[in-house]
Amino acid sequence: MQFFIEVLLGGLLSGVMYSFVALGFVLIYKASGVFNFAQGAMVFAAALTFVGFQEMGLPFPAALLAAFAVMVVLGIVTERVVLRPLVNQPPITLFMATIGLTYVIEGLAQGVWGANVRGLELGIEDVPVQWLMDSTGIGVSTFDLFGAGVAALLVTLLALFFQYTRIGRALRAVADDHQAALSIGIPLQTIWRIVWAVAGFVALVAGLIWGARNGVSFSLTFTALKALPVLILGGFTSIPGAIVGGLIIGSTEKLAEVYLGEYVGGGIDSWFPYVMALAFLLVRPEGLFGEKHIDRV
């Protein structure tokens, strides 16, 4: 039982990581209707850029700021070069464009910073929390708890941003109705740039935590892809959905690997989230939080 709880908690905490990436997807999808396949590549690029700046001798806060600046520039350039010319194209075209963007970002990031695997040090140790270990005998990593804390903080910040700033409110309006948003007086393009910058920030935070956990390498992009099944569970437009979906995927994936994996040869976490999302889709195509929708004709 203790072991079960440990696995479950570990899964939940790694699920938080998926939620991070899914969050970036949701932000962009809500504001621009673009399904941004490149979000995973952005996580990788952000982490690599941060490490790269640190290697150049920048102290932590400066490297963080510089990496953030790079992500903002990336967002602005993407809006100008990719999104604006494709406005009003079918969503699937935009989706394919973001697959192209994925390649560009990965190529650029590796071209500039090199392709070798790096470590990323945040100064938090990956050891079990002592008092929890002592009192219950359950091992939970300090680092994972820290990651969950950061996630909670980030979601709170985003919620405040959406609730209390003019731009945040405009973003929410855009999600509901593009025309209405225009009447607020903020150009759609500005909104898109901001939302890509915010998504870039989320990617940076995700990249830092993930990079510190598993190292910064190309495989990060595959892990980040698991945000896709998370989105299927949680729906493309729901922030709580992204969080809950991430937790579900993270925990079931770990439980499945531990309890089923040994019977089938292991490594099932490469596909388990996808198959689970698929099974889920068949039962509830509208997602956990989505509403049933009938095409109007």
Partner 1 sequence: MSGRKIGDVILDLQNISLRFGGVKALTDISFNVREHEVRAIIGPNGAGKSSMLNVINGVYHPQEGRIVFHGEERRKMEPHKAAKQGIARTFQNIALFKGMSVLDNIMTGRITKMHASFLEQAIHFGRARREELEHRHKVEEVIDFLEIQHIRKTPVGRLPYGLQKRVELARALAAEPTMLLLDEPMAGMNVEEKQDMCRFILDVNDQFGTTIVLIEHDMGVVMDISDRVVVLDYGKKIGDGTPDEVRNNPEVISAYLGVAH
Partner 2 sequence: MLYREAGQFKTSYAADQQIFPIRQDRIGILIILAIAFFAVPMLFSEYWLKAILIPFLIFSLAALGLNILTGYAGQLSLGSAAFMAVGAFASYNFMLRVDGMPILLAFIGGGLAAAAVGIAFGLPSLRIKGFYLAVATLAAQFFIVWLLTKVGWFSNYSSSGVITAQDMEILGYRFVTPEAKYLLVLAIVVVLALLAKNMVRSSVGRAWMAVRDMDVAAEVIGIRIMHTKLLAFAVSSFYCGVAGALYAFAYIGTVEPEGFSLDLSFKILFMIIIGGVGSISGAFLGAAFIVLLPIALDVIVQQWLAGVLPPSVSSNLQLIVFGGLIIFFLIVEPHGLARLWQIGKEKLRLWPFPH
Ligand X SMILES: Nc1ncnc2c1ncn2[C@@H]1O[C@H](COP(=O)(O)OP(=O)(O)OP(=O)(O)O)[C@@H](O)[C@H]1O
Residues that bind ligand X (CB under 6 A): 294, 296
Taking the least distance from each CB to ligand X, the nearer of 134 and 291 is 291
In the list ligand X, partner 1, partner 2, none, the entry touching 239 (Cβ below 5 to 8 angstroms by class) is none
Q: Is 137 left (phi over 0), alpha (psi -120 to 50) or beta?
A: left
Of partner 1, partner 2, ligand X, none, which one sits near residue 291, judging by CB under 5 to 8 A according to partner kind? partner 1
Q: Which of 51, 105, 203, 243 is the binder for partner 2 (CB under 8 A)? A: 105
Contact characters 1-40, partner 2, x per CB under 8 A: ----------------------------------x-----
CB of 297 to partner 1, least distance (A): 6
Binding mask 277-296 vs partner 1 (x if CB under 8 A, - otherwise)? --------------x--x--
Give dist(CA 197, CA 203) in Å, integer. Answer: 10
Residue 99's binding partner out of partner 2, partner 1, ligand X, none, with CB under 5 to 8 Å set by partner kind: partner 2
Residues 193, 195, 197, 203: what is their CA dihedral angle, to the nearest 10 degrees? -150
**Shortest distance, position 260 Cβ to ligand X, whole Å:** 41
Binders of partner 2 among residues 227 to 286 (CB under 8 A) are 228-229, 231-232, 236, 264-268, 270-271, 274-275, 277-278, 281-282, 285
Nearest distance, CB of residue 93 and ligand X, angstroms: 25
Query: By C-beta, is 61 or 90 nearer to partner 1?
Result: 90
Sketch the per residue contact string, 238 through 277, with partner 1: x for CB under 8 A, - otherwise: ----------------------------------------
Write the DSSP string, the chain.
Answer: -HHHHHHHHHHHHHHHHHHHHHHHHHHHHHHH----TTHHHHHHHHHHHHHHHHHTT--HHHHHHHHHHHHHHHHHHHIIIIIGGGTTS-HHHHHHHHHHHHHHHHHHHHHHH-SS-B----S----B-HHHHHHH----BHHHHHHHHHHHHHHHHHHHHHHHSHHHHHHHHHHH-HHHHHHHT--HHHHHHHHHHHHHHHHHHHHHHHHHHH-BSTTHHHHHHTHHHHHHHH-TT-HHHHHHHHHHHHHHHHHHHHHTHHHHTS-GGGTHHHHHHHHHHHH-TT-SS--------
Q: Which two three-digit tokens encode residue 151?
A: 């996630």
Smallest gap from Cβ 291 to ligand X, in A, equals 10
Contact residues for partner 1, defined by CB under 8 A: 291, 294, 297
Contact residues for partner 2, defined by CB under 8 A: 35, 81-82, 85-86, 89, 91-93, 95-97, 99-108, 110-111, 114-115, 225, 228-229, 231-232, 236, 264-268, 270-271, 274-275, 277-278, 281-282, 285, 295, 297
